[in-house]
């Protein structure tokens, strides 16, 4: 830790961060910092697969059209086309890295392609039902052996270091990022990291909700840091709730993949009666927002704890081959998916908004990039099309790599050390766990699948109280990982609520009882921090 000066500092260890690191490592000195183990992020949890037009009867144009329909008028068409056109190349790059996708010799591509909600054709390439894990493991092997890539586990970023915070750069015409303060959780020491380019790749903010399919790492760190540094944030009201999270007291955050419905799974009431045809003509293959709202409606209408996803009519060999992880996990919990339906509920799954970037991942701060779920490129619009997320990680990370490679080297100022001279050790850390629990519960109750203005106002009042408490705590005590995550969650919650209150319509993932209609013109919700 004696020399923390790098060409590129990547905060986060998901697919986007790994892809970028591997594209830069031939010519750049890279540091990846990750707050837990290197494989603990949401990318490893992705089950379904990656969308790409690989078959002869598919095309990038069809992929674009499906994405635009799902995005409910808010997708950036130029970005969407760019990502769809580069999708096949990105998949072949993964194959070159050693990723093994499920094969199918009856398919001209040589790979099994599945279909998910919102897609008009089979275009999801996958590795069984644990695609994210297969991809991450292959890339980790590459990362570990590369001499130009340093990986620091158990390190959490506190804040970005920007020119407006430095006395000799305050008057600079163009605000710049010079690096970040990083807490080493192993020894509770804060280090100053300097970098030619800094990249936010920390994933989304779904842990702001009580029920989520995401790992504990999804606390909106990159989004909150970008916001505090002055980046524009867009469309945070669009939180995707996955329709089918396993409902079981011992199955924390376990996702039942979209592909189960894509391969014929049927949603049913406890009576065994299907209900999706009542809500949409596409039934179980409707986009996720429609399916999640339908499940939410039926549960509230009938006072149900869950609904059921039934694929037991498929052959046993088929289920074991295509859904080995789901089959095994359910069996551990006493659910045999070959004989009985799976109890499921909706859960917060994906953050469609984030730090505003262009197609190269560049933010509006010089030398700061954001990629993956942290970023808002415009691909997802008001609702993400299934399996477009890992794809976005790949394509935008590769584009960011090309852009960073072409950036000139600049002289960097000496950055000030972290100042702990006026703080003490915390006296009551239980306050943090209480605030964390309170935040996630009222966000679930007031800012969930169906919203009202009154619910949003209630959430906003509670957020303000929490922010005051957390600010006092942050100002007076030494930082801890739990405190930093709570601070980022509250900032993320605030951005979600503020964005939702600005949208006076229902569109995509944002459904308001007070504004049930969709406006004729689709506009992004863009938040810009006031100059302090």
pLDDT of residue 31: 96
Minimal CA–CA distance to 314: which of 246, 248, 266, 282?
Answer: 266
pLDDT of residue 173: 64
Which pTM value belongs to this model? 0.90
Catalytic residues: 288
pLDDT of residue 3: 66
* 98 pLDDT higher than 70: yes
- DSSP conformation letters of 441-493: HHHHHHSSSSB-HHHHHHHHHHHHHHHHHHHHHHHHB---HHHHHHHHHHHHH
The CATH fold assigned to 244-348 is Flavocytochrome C3; Chain A, domain 1 (3.90.700)
Query: Cα separation of 247 and 268, whole Å?
Result: 14
Report the mean per-residue pLDDT for the chain: 92
Share of the chain above pLDDT 70, in %: 97
Segment 127-152, tens digit of pLDDT: 988 898 999 999 999 999 899 999 99
Average pLDDT over residues 436-460: 93
pLDDT bracket for residue 171 (50, 70, 90): low
pLDDT of residue 254: 86
- DSSP conformation letters of 86-131: HHHHHHHHHHHTT--PPB-TTSTTSB-EE--TT-SS--EE-STT-H
Indicate the SS3 state at residue 510: strand
Whether 226 contacts 203, CB under 8 Å = no
pLDDT bracket for residue 105 (50, 70, 90): confident
* 172 pLDDT higher than 70: no
pLDDT of residue 8: 97
Segment 211-267, tens digit of pLDDT: 888 888 999 999 999 999 999 999 999 999 989 999 988 877 788 988 899 899 999
Whether 180 contacts 222, CB under 8 Å = no
pLDDT of residue 116: 83
Q: Where are the domains of the chain?
A: 5-237+352-405, 244-348, 430-515
* 11 pLDDT higher than 90: yes
pLDDT of residue 428: 65
End-to-end CA distance of the chain: 33
Instruction: Give the class (CATH, top level) of 430-515.
Output: mainly alpha
Query: Cα separation of 51 and 175, whole Å?
Result: 36
Q: Which backbone phi and psi does 115 adopt, to 5 degrees?
A: -120, 140
Sheet architecture: strand order including 307-310: 239-246, 342-351, 307-310, 266-268
3-class secondary structure per residue, 332-365: HCCCCCCCCCEEEEEEEEEECCEEECCCCCECCC
Q: Hey, which of 303-307, 346-350, 392-396 has the most confident mean pLDDT? A: 392-396
pLDDT of residue 433: 83
Query: Cα separation of 79 and 356, whole Å?
Result: 13
Average pLDDT over residues 82-90: 97
- DSSP conformation letters of 223-264: HHHHHHHT--EE-TT-EEEEEEEE--TT-TT-B--HHHHHTT
Minimal CA–CA distance to 13: which of 45, 52, 42?
Answer: 42
188: alpha, beta or left, given left = phi > 0 and alpha = psi -120 to 50? left
Domain 5-237+352-405 part of CATH 3.50.50.60: yes
Only one residue has tokens 């060999």, namely 317
């Amino acid at each position: 830790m004696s020399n923390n000066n790098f060409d590129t500092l990547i905060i986060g260890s998901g697919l986007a961060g790994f892809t970028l690191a591997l594209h830069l490592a031939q010519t750049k000195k890279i540091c990846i910092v990750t707050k837990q183990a290197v494989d603990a992020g949401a990318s490893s949890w992705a089950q379904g697969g990656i969308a790409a037009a690989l078959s002869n009867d598919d095309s990038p144009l069809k992929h674009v059209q499906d994405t635009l329909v799902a995005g409910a008028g808010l997708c950036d068409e130029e970005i969407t086309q760019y990502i769809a056109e580069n999708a096949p190349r990105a998949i072949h790059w993964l194959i070159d890295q050693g990723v093994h996708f499920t094969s199918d010799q009856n398919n001209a591509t040589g790979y099994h392609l599945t279909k998910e909600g919102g897609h008009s054709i089979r275009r999801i390439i996958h590795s069984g039902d644990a695609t994210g894990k297969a991809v991450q493991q292959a890339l980790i092997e590459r990362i570990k052996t590369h001499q130009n890539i340093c990986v620091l586990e158990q390190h959490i970023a506190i804040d970005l270091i920007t020119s407006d915070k430095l006395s000799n750069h305050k008057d600079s015409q163009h605000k710049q990022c010079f690096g970040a303060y990083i807490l080493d959780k192993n020894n509770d020491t804060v280090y100053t990291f300097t970098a030619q380019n800094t990249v936010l790749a920390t994933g989304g903010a779904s842990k702001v909700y009580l029920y989520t399919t995401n790992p504990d790492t999804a606390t909106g760190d990159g989004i909150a840091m970008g916001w505090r540094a002055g980046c524009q944030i867009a469309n945070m009201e669009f939180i995707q709730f996955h329709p089918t999270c396993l409902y079981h007291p011992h199955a924390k955050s376990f996702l039942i993949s979209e592909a189960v419905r894509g391969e014929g799974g049927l949603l049913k009431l406890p009576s065994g009666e299907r209900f999706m045809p009542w809500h949409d003509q596409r039934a179980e293959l409707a986009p996720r927002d429609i399916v999640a709202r339908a499940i939410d409606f039926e549960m509230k209408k009938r006072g149900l704890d869950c609904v059921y996803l039934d694929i037991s009519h498929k052959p046993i060999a088929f289920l074991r081959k295509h859904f080995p992880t789901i089959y095994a996990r359910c069996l551990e919990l006493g659910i045999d998916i070959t004989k009985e339906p799976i109890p499921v509920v909706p859960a917060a799954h994906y953050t469609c908004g984030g730090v505003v970037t262009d197609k190269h991942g560049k933010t509006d701060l010089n030398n700061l990039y954001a990629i993956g779920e942290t970023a808002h490129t415009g691909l997802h619009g008001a609702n993400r099309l299934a399996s477009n997320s890992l794809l976005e990680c790949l394509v935008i990370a590769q584009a960011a790599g090309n852009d960073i490679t072409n950036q000139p080297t600049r002289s960097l100022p000496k950055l000030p050390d972290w100042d702990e001279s006026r703080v003490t050790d915390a006296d009551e850390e239980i306050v943090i766990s209480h605030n964390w629990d309170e935040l996630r519960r009222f966000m679930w109750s007031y800012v969930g699948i169906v919203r009202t203005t009154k619910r949003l106002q209630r959430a906003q009042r509670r957020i303000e109280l929490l922010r005051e408490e957390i600010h006092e705590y942050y100002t007076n005590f030494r930082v801890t990982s739990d405190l930093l995550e709570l601070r980022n969650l509250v900032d993320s919650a605030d951005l979600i609520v503020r964005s939702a209150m600005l949208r006076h319509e229902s569109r995509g993932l944002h459904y308001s009882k007070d504004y049930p209609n969709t406006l004729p013109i689709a506009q992004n919700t863009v938040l810009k921090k006031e100059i302090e």
